[in-house]
């Protein structure tokens, strides 16, 4: 009788995982382990550890109730070895197996480790493709038409072979700033049950020095709760998702975003079901096309695309540094103590929620990292630590490619650099700031204003022939030598006191 050990990793929490195909409960065994190395190779936000371990425990319970035999090891079990390889080795020695089956890990580092197991174990290891995604690695290579192809393939928001409404993209309607505070629905919350409370205590005891606030913890941790969160988004927020996608408001961390990335990235939700729910809402006339198209393009477009770039460019993508940026990450990325109100807001909300929405990550935290010339390794490390949805396959292309342009233009066609005027247009942060967003230079001028030009000056050799930056370099050419010197002086002065900025 041939027996398989089916290894399920912490972000593979779905009953449809390829590793479970053909599983025979009479003889096979599922192995799941909470391993220290997974949450300390970068020191995850406390909330993220609670989320992952609690979701794993709930998923294991669900599997057991459905009759699957599961060998689950908790972090504080006496015999837990702390590494996934050692765990498989330990369990393999207790039970006799003929084969190990695993779905391809989402991260390159883990896949490379598992491939090496082949020479360490005397039994075969079958690595199956990751069916949580719509686009395979092979399809990505021939993804000539970019992100539109998946909409055609899965017939999402299509009508007679054409995109619904005639356009593939409605972003032009999606850049409205908030004029006044209006009712933003509360995000989905669930009360921690006994399992989650146990994990909260475990994290408090074992990872006290990790970044972020542990409590209150309100993420869903089961498939059922993730579906409730999806429902709540579709019913309450999707209608305004498009219009206010780029807007930011003081003390409003959640806005009209979906807050589904945590669930999508650990398998509790699948991209196609989210896209279909949004499409259904449009068909019922409950949400406008610009919102629905925008959401679908992100879930089955951008998300699949960044994953494709990650696997296509790894290894090597991690060490890209197109601008040779070397500056260390300022302390306020950890403490939130800074006079720059926009950065303070985003870091404080990140500490509290292990979440910031896209435009905060891109145009405040990311924009600052880009124009201040922060070292891509340090910036990537920070983003990997602080967000509950961070996994290298999605974090790295967003940071190295989209935000820092450290890949020299593989993912995006130009760096997303912007001055304070953009932040002022899209948010109300500047009203409560120590700095003056309308001032270009001097001690109380908004640092984004001079750092933006300093960035373009510093990187002229690398950027001046980028056709999307021609206008900016023309403006720079018209600047007097005196003005350019003032920009450089203000920037150097700012860099000199960066940790206290």
- Contact positions toward ligand SF4, by CB under 6 A? 340-342, 420, 423-424, 429-430, 433, 435, 437, 446-448
Q: Which stretch binds ligand FAD (CB under 6 A): 11-19, 293-301, 407-415, 492-500?
A: 293-301
Residue pointed to by tokens 């006799």: 96
Residue pair 433/339 in contact (Cβ under 8 Å)? The answer is yes
Q: Is the Cβ of residue 102 or residue 340 nearer to ligand SF4 in the bound state?
A: 340
Using alpha carbons only, what angle is made at residue 390 by residues 386 and 394, rounded to the nearest 5 degrees?
140
Least distance CB 442 / ligand SF4 (angstroms)? 13
Q: Is the Cβ of residue 121 or residue 302 nearer to ligand FAD in the bound state?
A: 302
Give dist(CA 349, CA 460) in Å, integer: 35
By CB under 6 A, is residue 257 in contact with ligand FAD?
yes
- Specify the 3-state DSSP secondary structure of 102: strand
Closest C-alpha among 234, 198, 237 to residue 49? 198
Least distance CB 61 / ligand FAD (angstroms)? 26
429 interacts with, out of ligand FAD, ligand SF4, none, CB within 5 to 8 A per kind: ligand SF4
Q: Which stretch of DSSP H or E encloses residue 495?
A: helix 481-496
Q: Which stretch binds ligand FAD (CB under 6 A): 16-24, 62-70, 224-232, 259-267?
A: 259-267
**CA-based Rg of the chain, rounded to a whole angstrom?**
24
By CB under 6 A, is residue 68 in contact with ligand FAD?
no
Query: 218: buried, middle or exposed (CB in 10 Å: 19+, 13-18, 0-12)?
Result: middle
Give dist(CA 486, CA 230) in Å, integer: 50
Least distance CB 428 / ligand FAD (angstroms)? 20
Please count the other Cβ atoms lying within 10 Å of the Cβ belonging to residue 430.
21
> What are the tokens at 323?
């601008």
Q: Is the Cβ of residue 190 or residue 436 nearer to ligand SF4 in the bound state?
A: 436
Least distance CB 132 / ligand FAD (angstroms)? 12
Least distance CB 86 / ligand FAD (angstroms)? 27
Least distance CB 25 / ligand FAD (angstroms)? 33
264 interacts with, out of ligand SF4, ligand FAD, none, CB within 5 to 8 A per kind: ligand FAD
Residues in contact with ligand FAD, shown as a per-residue x/- string from 378 to 417 under the rule CB under 6 A:
-----x---x-xx---xx--xx--xx--------------
Helix/strand/coil (H, E, C) string of 113-169? HHHHHHHHCCCCEEEECCCCCCCCHHHHHCCCCCCHHHHHHCCCCEECCEEHHHCCC
Number of shown-chain residues binding ligand FAD (CB under 6 A): 28
Residue pointed to by tokens 């669900």: 62
Least distance CB 73 / ligand FAD (angstroms)? 27
Interaction with ligand FAD in 99-158: which residues (CB under 6 A)?
none
The phi, psi pair for 249, rounded to 5°, reads: -135, 140
Pairing outcome for strands 99-103 and 162-163: unpaired
Q: Is the Cβ of residue 236 or residue 250 nearer to ligand SF4 in the bound state?
A: 250
Q: Is the Cβ of residue 290 or residue 367 nearer to ligand SF4 in the bound state?
A: 367
Task: Give Cα 180 to chain centroid, integer Å.
Answer: 29
302 interacts with, out of ligand FAD, ligand SF4, none, CB within 5 to 8 A per kind: ligand FAD
229 interacts with, out of ligand FAD, ligand SF4, none, CB within 5 to 8 A per kind: none
Least distance CB 374 / ligand SF4 (angstroms)? 16
Closest C-alpha among 329, 367, 326, 361 to residue 347? 361
430 interacts with, out of ligand SF4, ligand FAD, none, CB within 5 to 8 A per kind: ligand SF4
Closest C-alpha among 170, 6, 211 to residue 100? 6
- Specify the 3-state DSSP secondary structure of 445: strand
Q: Is the Cβ of residue 415 or residue 447 nearer to ligand SF4 in the bound state?
A: 447
Cα distances (Å, whole numbers) of residue 222 to 49, 320, 379 = 15, 37, 31
Residues in contact with ligand FAD, shown as a per-residue x/- string from 435 to 474 under the rule CB under 6 A:
----------------------------------------
The site for ligand FAD (CB under 6 A) is made up of 257-261, 264-265, 295, 298-299, 302-303, 306, 357-358, 361-362, 366, 383, 387, 389-390, 394-395, 398-399, 402-403
């Amino acid at each position: 009788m041939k027996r398989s050990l089916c290894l399920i990793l912490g972000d593979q929490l779905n009953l449809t995982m390829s590793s479970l195909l053909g599983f025979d409960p009479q003889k096979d065994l599922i192995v799941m382990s909470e391993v220290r190395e997974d949450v300390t190779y970068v020191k995850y936000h406390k909330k993220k550890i609670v989320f992952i371990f609690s979701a794993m425990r709930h998923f294991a319970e669900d599997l057991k109730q459905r009759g699957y035999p599961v060998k689950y090891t908790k972090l504080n079990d006496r015999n837990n070895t702390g590494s996934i390889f050692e765990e498989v080795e330990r369990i393999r020695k207790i039970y006799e197996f003929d084969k190990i089956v695993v779905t391809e890990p989402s991260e390159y580092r883990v896949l490379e480790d598992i491939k090496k197991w082949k020479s360490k174990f005397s039994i075969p290891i079958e690595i199956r493709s990751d069916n949580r995604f719509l686009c395979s690695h092979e399809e990505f290579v021939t993804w000539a038409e970019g992100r539109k192809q998946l909409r055609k393939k899965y017939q999402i928001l299509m009508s007679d072979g054409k995109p619904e409404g005639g356009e593939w993209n409605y972003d032009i309607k999606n850049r409205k700033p908030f004029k006044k505070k209006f009712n933003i629905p509360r995000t989905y919350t669930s009360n921690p049950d006994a399992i989650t409370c146990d994990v909260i205590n475990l994290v408090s005891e074992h990872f006290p020095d990790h970044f972020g606030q542990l409590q209150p913890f309100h993420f869903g941790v089961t498939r059922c709760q993730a579906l409730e969160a999806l429902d709540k988004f579709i019913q309450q927020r999707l209608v305004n998702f498009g219009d206010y996608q780029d807007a930011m408001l003081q003390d409003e961390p959640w806005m009209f975003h979906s807050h589904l990335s945590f669930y999508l990235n650990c398998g509790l939700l699948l991209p196609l079901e989210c896209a279909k729910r949004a499409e259904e809402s449009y068909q019922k006339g409950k949400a406008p096309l610009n919102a629905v198209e925008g959401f679908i393009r992100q879930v089955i477009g951008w998300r699949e695309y960044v994953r494709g770039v990650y696997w296509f460019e790894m290894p090597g993508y991690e060490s890209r540094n197109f601008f040779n940026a070397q500056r260390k990450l300022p302390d306020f990325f950890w403490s939130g103590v800074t006079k720059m109100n926009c950065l303070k807001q985003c870091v404080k909300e990140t500490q509290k929620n292990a979440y910031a929405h896209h435009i905060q990550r891109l145009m405040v935290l990311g924009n600052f990292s880009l124009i201040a010339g922060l070292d891509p390794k340090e910036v990537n490390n920070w983003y990997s630590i602080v967000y509950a949805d961070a996994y290298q396959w999605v974090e790295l292309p967003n940071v190295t490619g989209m935000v820092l342009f450290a890949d020299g233009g593989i993912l995006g066609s130009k760096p997303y650099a912007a001055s304070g005027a953009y932040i002022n247009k899209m948010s109300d942060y500047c009203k409560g700031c120590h700095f003056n967003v309308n001032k270009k230079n001097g001690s109380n001028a908004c640092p984004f204003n001079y750092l933006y030009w300093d960035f373009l000056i510093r990187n002229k050799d690398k950027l001046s022939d980028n056709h999307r930056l021609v206008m900016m370099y023309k403006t720079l050419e018209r600047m007097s030598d005196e003005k350019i010197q003032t920009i450089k002086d203000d920037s150097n002065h700012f860099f000199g006191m960066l940790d206290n900025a």
